[in-house]
Amino acid sequence: MSVQNMNGTKVKPAKETLPEVEVESNGNGHKMYSYEMLEEIANFLLTKTNIRPIIGIICGSGMGSLADTITDAERIPYEEIPNFPTSTVEGHHGQLVFGRLGEVPVVAMQGRFHYYEGYPLWKCCLPIRVMKLLGVKTLMATNAAGGLNPSYKIGDLMIVTDHINLMGFAGNNPLQGPNDERFGPRFPPMNKAYNYEYRKIAKKVAKELKLDNIIREGIYTCLGGPNFETVAELRMLKMVGVDAVGMSTVHEVITARHCDMKVFGLSLITNECITNYEVEAEANHEEVLDVGKMRQDLLREYISRLVHEFSKV
Ligand SMILES: O=P(O)(O)O[C@@H]1C[C@H](O)[C@@H](CO)O1
Ligand SMILES: Nc1nc2[nH]cnc2c(=O)[nH]1
């Protein structure tokens, strides 16, 4: 469902979240959910479906149709899940889709949570921990991103080799606050964030699908958003080696690695990052969604093949 804002642009109406239950503060005044509360959410989901997913997929902006190829699909709207956040962004439906891709049991998030929606990072990443408690071993995080590497074109797919946690540099991290060892260690390593074996497979499958001309590998960074970047900001990010810029994924990957999930990251390059003041064009969310639509068939085929291959590793 969408409504029009005062400029006539379609937006999702903000939905009320369920009352937040105070458990412990993360030191920034944010209330956090305990392990037991997350277990409750996972147990609720397990009563709603017989699917026991081993791979979790996050659909990026405009990429929700990735979940449409899931068979035996059981859809659970976020509103119906106790203590779950809700999606407020156009292009993010707001439901979990349980089912199979080929033979592989999966769960897909049709709609992720972003910091700019007003959720603290731990809450943006709450579904990852729920996935872990459901038995998910592998996270496939997709996103829409601006292409900063000048060789990238709109519609390219970038296999994420690594990320730069800029929000973390500023002291904002999803793992802030008391650490629960049942998820993972206080100081998790991050030098193997994006699984090497998966990246090799993704390149091989891309070749088989004749995607060589659009497949890239590169470094992603996440900014808090919701505004797109200034020219000066993009020039700075380029200098430090960033290839694609987005507003998600990094904190999800950190949370997944903390609880020992294997991770694959894929960015759809939806727009060119503008690093020149003479350029007339401006970044906009409509273009992001349009490119997602343009690439939907290809993405579905690629992700389905990857799920099949990853399930054998
Ligand atoms: O959810 P993702 O990271 O795929 O979405 C990107 C970042 C913003 O939410 C949106 C901007 O158009 O696209
Ligand atoms: N931060 C950011 N996020 C995006 N998501 C899609 N395109 C972009 C972009 O250019 N910048």
Q: Write out the DSSP string of 229-295.
A: --HHHHHHHHHTT--EEESSSHHHHHHHHHTT-EEEEEEEEEEE----TT------HHHHHHHHHHT
Q: Does residue 14 have a pLDDT over 60?
A: no
Q: Whose CA is nearest to atom 1 of ligand 2?
A: 246
Q: Answer yes or no: are the C-beta atoms of 128 and 180 closer than 8 Å.
A: no
Residue 121 CA neighbour count, 13 Å, CB half: 26
pTM assigned to the model: 0.92
Of the listed ranges 16-30, 52-66, 67-81, 186-200, the one predicted with least confidence: 16-30
Catalytic residue among 34, 39, 116, 149: 116
Cα angle, residue 308 at apex, residues 307 and 311 outer, rounded to 5°:
80
Spacing of C-alpha 246 from chain mean position: 10
* Assigned token pair, 152: 């990238």
Give the Cα separation of 54 and 116 in Å (integer). Answer: 29
The SS3 of residue 306 is helix
Per-residue pLDDT of 217-274, as tens digits, reads 999 999 999 999 999 999 999 999 999 999 999 999 999 999 999 999 999 999 999 9
Q: Whose CA is nearest to atom 7 of ligand 1?
A: 247
Give the Cα separation of 49 and 10 in Å (integer). Answer: 33
The length of the chain, given as a count of residues = 313
Per-residue pLDDT of 202-233, as tens digits, reads 999 999 999 999 999 999 999 999 999 999 99
Q: Answer yes or no: are the C-beta atoms of 114 and 247 closer than 8 Å.
A: yes
- Told to judge if 163 belongs to the known catalytic residues of this protein, a careful annotator would answer no
Per-residue pLDDT of 17-30, as tens digits, reads 433 444 455 555 66
Ligand 2 pocket check for 288: Cβ under 6 Å: yes
Ligand 2 pocket check for 140: Cβ under 6 Å: no
